[in-house]
Each structure stands twice: as structure tokens, then as C-alpha cells.
């Protein structure tokens, strides 16, 4: 039986067509959801940037504009210029959108917000985000245990790189929809509970993170919404060797690469940021300049919460 059946609906789920009962197993309901999802999608994509004045005091129109885009695209870009933007500002911005449970990852500081930049030779350099190398398609925390599921993240650009460092985002609901429209069996295979494993992270004999095994697509019991876990880095993931899953994963990779008409590409400039329900994303490599303001620096916060009301 498909896992994509919401057993435990969120109070707000009735406003989200993605969480209607049986939508993934009833063809008519799936068709209805797909049409609604795609309606106006690309128009909204072209208008993904929202200006905000004070991240600590969103106005009602600013908040509505952010949520409107998040409901449709699962991602929004904000632009907040003319002020210094601190980690605390990012935290308070998140709180106004229902984001309060921060994930404390290995590279985050005491406030659980990471400074993502090219690291000097430290333990961080084994993680690609802390280099200037390109970063392939992934969702954040795809290796986390379910009690640390990353449902959203925010990124704020303090300084952009001299060149490169361009992000692209792709909505997991769109990816699922495209896979299922073209091959329902592949979509079902990707919901199996053992589609991939990520080995434990062990450093100096100490287990920093346990082994994870799970599906690519699932319905998140915490909110009834579609959740996706994925990494294009085959080095990081061990895919199930069953033929039907191997075929489904190959197909998924193709769909992701070909879904360019639904992908949002944006180079974050200083003062801009992203709020996102942990969509798929990737980053091009970049070259830093010699001055501080041309050395790429982003603040990143990861949450166990999905943006409230989306």
C-alpha cells in the first residue's frame, strides 16, 4: 500500500490540496490536486521576490505576500535592504512564520544558525557547503532521523560571491506530480520505507549521526504534507538495489534534471534571503573576491517546523 495516505491531518490541512485524503491513490483526486497545483504556478514563479522593510516586524501585506508564494511554490525570496541583518533578525523573521524549532547541526553556532562560507582548513571542509564547490540537488537533512526531520530552512545572504554561487530551487510537490503523471508505479516505489540508506556519520570512533533508512517521498504525519528526502551525490547515499527501485530512482533523476520550467534560479544578493519548505535545491560553484564584501557569506537556519499556514 502506498505510504502516501495521510492518517493524521493537520488542522490547516483542508486549505492545502496536497493533503486531501487519498489524493495519491485516487486518480481523480490526484488529477484535481495536480491541476490546482499547476494553475498559476509559473506566473507566481515570475514574481517570487517580496520586499520586506523590517524582518523583526513584518507588516500584514508583507506576511501575506510571503505566504502566498510559499503556498504555491514552497519557496519565496525576500529582499531586505538598507539595514544590517543579524542572525537574530533571521530568527525573529522565522518566528513570525511559525518557525521556532531550530535544528542544531554540527556546523551551527550557539544560536543554531550556521554561517555558510568557505571554511579554512577545519573539520567543516569535509562538507561541500563550506567550500566553493558546486552543490548538487538535495533536500536539507535528508540523512536526519525522523525525530529531526527538516521541514523548512531559511537562508540570508550577507555577502554574495564575486562570481557564481547561484541557487536553484525545485518544489518537491512538482517533482512528485511529474513522476506520478508519467509513471505511477515509479512514484509508488519511491514511497517505500527502504528506498535509500545513509551510513552513520562516525568521526574518531564517535557516532555523530546514526544510520538512516527511508523513502524519498512520504506524507509527513506532523502536518499531512508531502515530504521529500534526496541527494544527487551517490557518494552520500546507498540506494536500494531492487530493480523496480533502481529504475524509479533513475527516472526521478531524469525528471529533476528536466523540470527546468518549474525550477527557480536566483543568485542571492546581499540583503536577500530565501524561506523554503525544504525544497530541492542546488548551488553552482563560486569564486570569492579579495574584499570581505565579495566573499560569499550566508546565514542558514534549519527547522523542524513547516511554515505555518502553507
Site of interaction with Fe ion (CB under 5 A): 140
62/140 with CB nearer Fe ion: 140
Q: Which residue has the cell 486549505?
A: 15
CB of 24 to Fe ion, least distance (A): 26
137/251 with CB nearer Fe ion: 137
Residue nearest to Fe ion (CB): 140
Q: 95-130 in b/e burial notation, b at 16+ Cβ within 10 A?
A: eebebeebbebebbeeebbbebbbbeeeebeeebbb
Q: 97: Cβ–Cβ under 8 A, 6 or more apart, which residues? A: 63, 66, 67, 275, 307, 308
CA-nearest of 240, 181, 163, 139 to 24 is: 181
140/173 with CB nearer Fe ion: 140
CB of 251 to Fe ion, least distance (A): 23
CB of 10 to Fe ion, least distance (A): 25
24/212 with CB nearer Fe ion: 212
77/248 with CB nearer Fe ion: 77
CB of 167 to Fe ion, least distance (A): 9
Q: Which residue has the cell 518544489?
A: 171
CB of 59 to Fe ion, least distance (A): 29
- Whether the CB-CB separation of 251 and 179 falls below 8 Å is answered with yes
Amino acid at each position: 500500500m502506498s505510504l502516501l495516505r495521510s492518517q493524521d491531518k493537520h488542522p490547516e490541512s483542508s486549505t492545502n490540496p496536497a493533503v486531501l485524503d487519498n489524493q495519491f491513490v485516487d486518480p481523480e483526486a490526484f488529477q484535481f490536486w495536480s491541476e490546482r497545483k499547476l494553475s498559476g504556478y509559473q506566473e507566481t514563479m515570475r514574481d517570487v521576490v517580496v520586499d520586506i522593510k523590517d524582518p523583526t516586524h513584518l507588516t500584514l501585506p508583507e506576511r501575506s505576500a510571503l505566504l502566498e508564494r510559499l503556498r504555491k511554490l514552497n519557496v519565496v525570496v525576500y529582499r531586505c535592504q538598507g539595514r544590517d541583518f543579524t542572525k537574530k533578525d533571521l530568527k525573529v523573521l522565522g518566528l513570525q512564520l511559525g518557525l521556532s524549532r531550530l535544528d542544531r547541526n554540527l556546523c551551527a553556532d550557539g544560536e543554531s544558525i550556521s554561517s555558510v562560507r568557505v571554511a579554512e582548513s577545519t573539520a567543516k571542509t569535509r562538507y561541500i557547503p563550506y567550500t566553493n564547490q558546486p552543490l548538487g540537488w538535495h533536500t536539507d537533512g535528508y540523512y536526519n532521523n525522523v525525530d529531526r526531520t527538516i521541514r523548512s530552512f531559511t537562508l540570508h545572504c550577507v555577502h554574495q560571491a564575486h562570481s557564481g554561487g547561484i541557487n536553484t530551487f525545485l518544489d518537491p510537490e512538482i517533482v512528485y506530480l511529474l513522476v506520478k503523471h508519467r509513471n505511477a508505479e515509479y512514484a509508488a516505489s519511491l514511497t517505500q520505507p527502504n528506498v535509500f540508506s545513509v551510513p552513520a556519520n562516525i568521526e574518531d570512533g564517535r557516532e555523530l549521526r546514526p544510520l538512516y533508512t527511508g523513502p524519498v517521498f512520504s506524507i509527513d504525519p506532523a502536518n499531512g504534507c508531502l515530504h521529500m528526502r534526496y541527494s544527487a551525490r551517490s557518494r552520500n547515499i546507498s540506494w536500494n538495489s531492487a530493480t523496480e527501485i533502481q529504475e524509479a530512482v533513475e527516472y526521478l533523476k531524469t525528471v529533476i534534471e528536466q523540470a527546468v520550467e518549474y525550477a527557480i534560479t536566483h543568485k542571492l544578493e546581499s540583503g536577500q534571503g530565501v524561506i523554503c519548505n525544504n525544497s530541492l535545491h542546488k548551488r553552482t560553484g563560486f569564486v570569492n573576491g579579495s574584499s570581505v564584501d565579495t566573499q560569499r557569506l550566508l546565514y542558514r537556519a534549519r527547522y523542524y517546523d513547516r511554515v505555518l499556514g502553507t
